[in-house]
């Protein structure tokens, strides 16, 4: 009996004061908390079998301990973890989206997108692990500084529509001087298809006519990226 009592999980209210996530944040600052403890604050409550921190650890484990991957999960995906209902799932999704937007705002303030590596750093959190193909633009000003990230289309596992008229309309509406084309390959294949090559050539030629430079085209997967510019294909 004593072993069973010692083995059971402590409820959050039974923890030492300094170990409770909210109290720990107030006393030591937000940087002192682990990912699981921060998620536990959003969850607020656990289940009959464990604390909010235990539920948070289950959430992280389900998503490979990758907050970027969790941020791309749907509310339905998040609800698959025991102890996470609709309200908690929505709260987590909103918090993670704010984190993405904060990263993008910081990018707008600090950096030029002067290389394929810079572009990959901006976009891979958005599309690298997706199960369906999406086509995005990185919109740049004359100094190659980030204006905005813009999703053009989303499709299936084998392709998505990238309409040149839509692409250049977005660039013109946002007063972009240059763009970087980006799409993911859910298959993990980094080599461009013939269709990718034809589309890139068409967009480069169209961009010259309206004075919007197509700087690069990235194919993104969870394992890395392929740059048309780096491989002499622009």
CATH of the domain at 17: 1.10.150
Lowest mean pLDDT among 50-64, 93-107, 163-177: 93-107
What is the band of 68 on the pLDDT scale with cuts at 50, 70, 90?
Answer: confident
Distance between CA atoms of residues 54 and 232, nearest Å: 50
**Domain hosting residue 54, numbered range:** 2-104
What is the band of 48 on the pLDDT scale with cuts at 50, 70, 90?
Answer: confident
Report how many domains make up the chain.
Answer: 2
Distance between CA atoms of residues 208 and 206, nearest Å: 5
- Taking the model in full, what pTM does it have? 0.59
Are residues 142 and 88 part of one domain?
Answer: no
Lowest mean pLDDT among 34-43, 45-54, 98-107: 98-107
What does the pLDDT read at residue 121? 92
Asked, for residue 77, whether it belongs to a domain, the answer is yes
* Domain edge (last residue) among 53, 81, 104: 104
Asked, for residue 233, whether it belongs to a domain, the answer is no
Examine the pLDDT at 18 and tell me if it is beyond 50. no
Domain with residue 217: its CATH number is: 3.40.140.10
Examine the pLDDT at 2 and tell me if it is beyond 50. no
Burial of 82 (0-12, 13-18, 19+ CB in 10 A): middle
Are residues 136 and 69 part of one domain?
Answer: no
Predicted confidence (pLDDT) per residue in 144-153, tens digit: 999 999 999 9
Examine the pLDDT at 103 and tell me if it is beyond 50. yes
Name 206's Cβ contacts closer than 8 Å, sequence gap at least 6.
164, 168
What is the band of 104 on the pLDDT scale with cuts at 50, 70, 90?
Answer: low
Contact 182/138 with Cβ under 8 angstroms? yes
Report the pLDDT averaged over residues 201-206: 96
What does the pLDDT read at residue 66? 86
64 dihedral zone (left: phi>0; alpha: psi -120 to 50; beta): left
What does the pLDDT read at residue 4? 43
CA angle, 9 as apex, 60 and 19 as ends, to 5°? 70
Examine the pLDDT at 3 and tell me if it is beyond 50. no
Q: How far is CA 83 from the centre of its chain?
A: 24
Report the pLDDT averaged over residues 170-182: 96
Asked, for residue 232, whether it belongs to a domain, the answer is no
Are residues 126 and 59 part of one domain?
Answer: no
Are residues 98 and 126 part of one domain?
Answer: no
Distance between CA atoms of residues 151 and 132, nearest Å: 13
Average pLDDT in the chain: 87
Are residues 161 and 79 part of one domain?
Answer: no
Are residues 118 and 221 part of one domain?
Answer: yes
Above pLDDT 70, what percent of the chain?
87
Report the pLDDT averaged over residues 99-128: 82
Report the pLDDT averaged over residues 96-102: 83
Asked, for residue 148, whether it belongs to a domain, the answer is yes
* Domain edge (last residue) among 104, 126, 159: 104
More confident residue, 159 or 169: 169
More confident residue, 155 or 42: 42
What does the pLDDT read at residue 160? 77
More confident residue, 62 or 8: 62
* Domain edge (last residue) among 104, 136, 161: 104
């Amino acid at each position: 009996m004593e072993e069973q009592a010692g083995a059971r999980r402590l409820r959050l209210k039974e923890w030492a004061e300094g170990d409770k996530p909210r109290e720990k944040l107030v006393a030591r600052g937000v940087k002192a908390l682990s990912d699981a403890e921060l998620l536990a604050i959003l969850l607020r409550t656990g289940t009959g079998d464990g604390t909010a921190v235990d539920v948070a650890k289950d959430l992280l484990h389900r998503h490979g301990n990758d907050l970027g991957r969790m941020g791309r999960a749907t509310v339905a995906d998040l609800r698959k973890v025991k102890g996470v209902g609709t309200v908690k799932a929505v709260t987590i999704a909103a918090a993670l989206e704010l984190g993405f937007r904060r990263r993008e705002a910081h990018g707008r303030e600090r950096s030029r997108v002067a290389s394929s590596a810079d572009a990959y750093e901006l976009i891979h959190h958005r599309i690298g692990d997706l199960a369906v193909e999406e086509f995005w633009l990185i919109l740049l000003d004359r100094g190659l500084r980030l204006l905005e990230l813009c999703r053009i289309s989303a499709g299936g596992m084998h392709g998505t529509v990238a309409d040149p008229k839509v692409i250049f309309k977005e660039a013109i509406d946002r007063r972009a001087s240059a763009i970087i084309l980006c799409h993911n390959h859910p298959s993990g294949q980094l080599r461009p298809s013939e269709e990718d090559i034809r589309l890139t050539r068409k967009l480069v030629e169209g961009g010259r006519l309206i004075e919007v430079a197509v700087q690069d085209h990235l194919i993104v997967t969870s394992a890395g990226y392929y740059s048309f510019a780096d491989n002499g294909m622009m």
